[in-house]
A and B are shown apart, each in its own frame.
Chain A
Amino acid sequence: MQITLGPLLFFWPKQEVTAFYEKVAESGFDRIYLGEVVCSKRRELKLDDWLAIAKLLQAKGKEVVLSTLTLIEAESELAQVSKICENGTFVVEANDMAAVHYLAKAGVPFSTGPSVNLYSAEALQVLHRTGLKRWVLPVELSFEHLKLIMARLQELGITDLETEVFSYGYLPLAYSARCFTARTHELNKDSCEFSCIKSSAGIPLATQEGDALFTINGIQTLSGSCHNILDQWQAMESAGVKAMRLSGHSQDILKVADELVRAMGHGITAITSENQQCNGYWSGRPGISH
């Protein structure tokens, strides 16, 4: 079982990003997804900066994947996605069909992230024909659904497709034209002052009764609770899952990965789960449930 680090969903200053990935280079992660996937206005790091981090990680023996923007609206954003797809060195994770279009045309193998809507083996089969090598299960699907999809893939004779499951972190739930961080700060999106940088783990949104509901992260809405199904690693392994994705909202993600590596090494199930975490989707319940 591989342990992967999903793309950083939050807007951190360049120095912090660089320092973070220097630690990631020494961590137990096997495969690292890099790049800005939420908002094209976040430009602390340019593509060359990401490529420099990619090379550093690769030199330390990590698999590196470049992950692309999810909601593409402007032509400049599309041009950037195209450029990443044509990088020629690193595998690319498509988060929109635009990237799938470029990668399929180029004839290079690619991955898809959780926002590409693949809900059945039949849908996977279509992209498999165009070069899909790995996919991330949509976060709202349960283990039962996953098993059905895996069984059907076998029937369809697709045996080389790698499955990755979003296993830890705030769940990406929605994308919008509107920037909710700017709205919170009473700013327009066009003059947002890059205010996402002020909240390194997003802004909590709660009901009027104080129940944690969502996390605001620019144009993205995440779950209010941290999703944690790390204790399912053995079930995933026996179902043929290739990798577990962890998504970080602080440097603590490195400790989480270490703990998972240790648990796997010793063959133990128990993984720390804190209060306020959720895991409902995995068992077919509302995602917020625990």
Chain B
Amino acid sequence: MELVCPAGNLPSLKAAVDNGADAVYIGFRDETNARHFAGLNFSDQRAMKALDYVNKNPRGKKVRLFVAVNTYAQASNWNRWKKAVDMCADFGVDALIAADISVLDYASKRYPDLNLHLSVQASATNQASLSFYHDHFGIKRAVLPRVLSLKQVERLAQKSPVELEVFAFGSLCIMAEGRCILSSYVTGESPNTVGACSPASAVRWQTTANGMDTRLGGLLIDRFDHHEQAGYPTLCKGRFTVNDKVSHAIEEPTSLNTLNLIPQLHQAGISAVKIEGRQRSPAYVAEVVRIWREALDHYRANPDGFTTNDRWMAGLSRLSEGSQTTLGAYNRPWQ
């Protein structure tokens, strides 16, 4: 399975390549990608440097570069998305990751040789939906939303007209990607429109007598005691009141970790595993990629005797939200 790794900037890209990524995905510095945060992503020039680095990988192995143009092209500025596709074609990237049918349509017609991957933001969760994108735009691969159980992934892989890539590790979207606008409901900005979820500009950290309140768009998302570590106020991971009870009504702060599913995913015919986290530091990227590289290499060397070792799991837990991990939707009882 190909190890697909995130890079929000050049140091992260180098960290991913140096630690054993098979492919790295990046975004341009604007609202055309779903991690549109201040100080993140690649200008034209930085993207050229990224391309140089993956091509001259010191490890000697060809590393592929993917570019995500995976938000929904907005009526006010459709040409910006068109330009992003043009740039991908000019650079000769190894894949363009897109979700919007107008972006896919333009890319497939204008650049028939451009390798297209369907972004997770397209919310394609079933064989008929995948067929739609395959038949109309000739996509070669799709990234599956984090909503399917392992059994459903296995069955879908048998029938899918295209290669499948699944999320392996990182922040966990609880909602079907591309089908969640909780963020714009509270802040006016969503992943679909501007590539932002719970944007920093809407966040407020407020010290109180008892600890810390976190707010988004003025609304209280969570309230932390002195002894608790305050987490970023993402709407799906706050503590709210339901039926007079305060709890993490949607999900706790936790990260997805599928390290121990490597054998099942490989046997199901999954082509690639994706590490989430273009917003993360180079040190984070380096550590996660290193552990996953080691685990995948171990599996390849001895598929029948594969077990996860405690060192890997402890290393990944340390890098996880709330220091805890979950199998998420892959594990049916979680649902």
Contact = CB atoms under 8 A, between A and B. Distances in A.
A150 to B, nearest CB: 9
A152 B102 CA distance: 14
B171 to A, nearest CB: 15
Given A104-B132, A123-B102, A145 B179 contact: no
B73 A122 contact: yes
Interface residues of B, number: 69
A121 B76 CA distance: 10
Interface stretch (B7-15, B41-49, B215-223, B277-285): B215-223
Nearest to A138: B192
Interface of A: 70-75, 77-78, 81-82, 96-102, 104, 115, 117-123, 125-127, 130, 138-141, 144-145, 148-149, 152, 171, 173-180, 183-184, 188-190, 203-211, 213-214, 216, 221, 223, 280-281, 284-288
A280 B188 CA distance: 9
Nearest to A179: B335
Contacts of A204: 242
Q: Give the dominant DSSP class at A's interface.
A: mixed
B127 interface: yes
Interface of B: 72-76, 78, 99-102, 105-106, 122-129, 131-133, 135-136, 146-149, 152, 155, 174-176, 178-182, 184-188, 190, 192-193, 217, 219-221, 223, 236, 238-243, 246, 249-251, 328-329, 332-335
Give the residue among B126, B238, B246 with the most A Cβ atoms within 10 A.
B126
Given A101-B128, A120-B74, A208 B181 contact: no
CB-based closest 5 A-B pairs: A98-B128, A122-B102, A177-B147, A101-B132, A177-B329
B75 A145 contact: yes
Given A177-B176, A287-B185, A208 B128 contact: no
7 contacts: A73-B148, A97-B122, A122-B78, A126-B101, A145-B74, A174-B180, A286-B188
A97 B75 contact: no
B185 to A, nearest CB: 4
B187 A286 contact: yes
Contacts of A287: 181, 184-186, 188
Contacts of A221: 175, 182, 250
Give the residue among A73, A209, A281 with the most B Cβ atoms within 10 A.
A73
A71 B147 contact: yes
A285 B175 CA distance: 22
Contacts of B193: 119, 140-141
A174 B190 CA distance: 12
Contacts of B332: 189-190
A214 B187 CA distance: 14
Contacts of A101: 128-129, 131-132, 135
Contacts of B122: 97, 117
Contact of A184 (B180, B239, B249): B249
Contacts of B133: 97
Contacts of A223: 185
Given A127-B101, A152-B75, A286-B185, A102 B242 contact: no
B335 A208 contact: no
Nearest to B71: A119
Nearest to B75: A148
Contacts of A123: 72-73, 100-102
B98 to A, nearest CB: 12
Contacts of B76: 144-145, 148
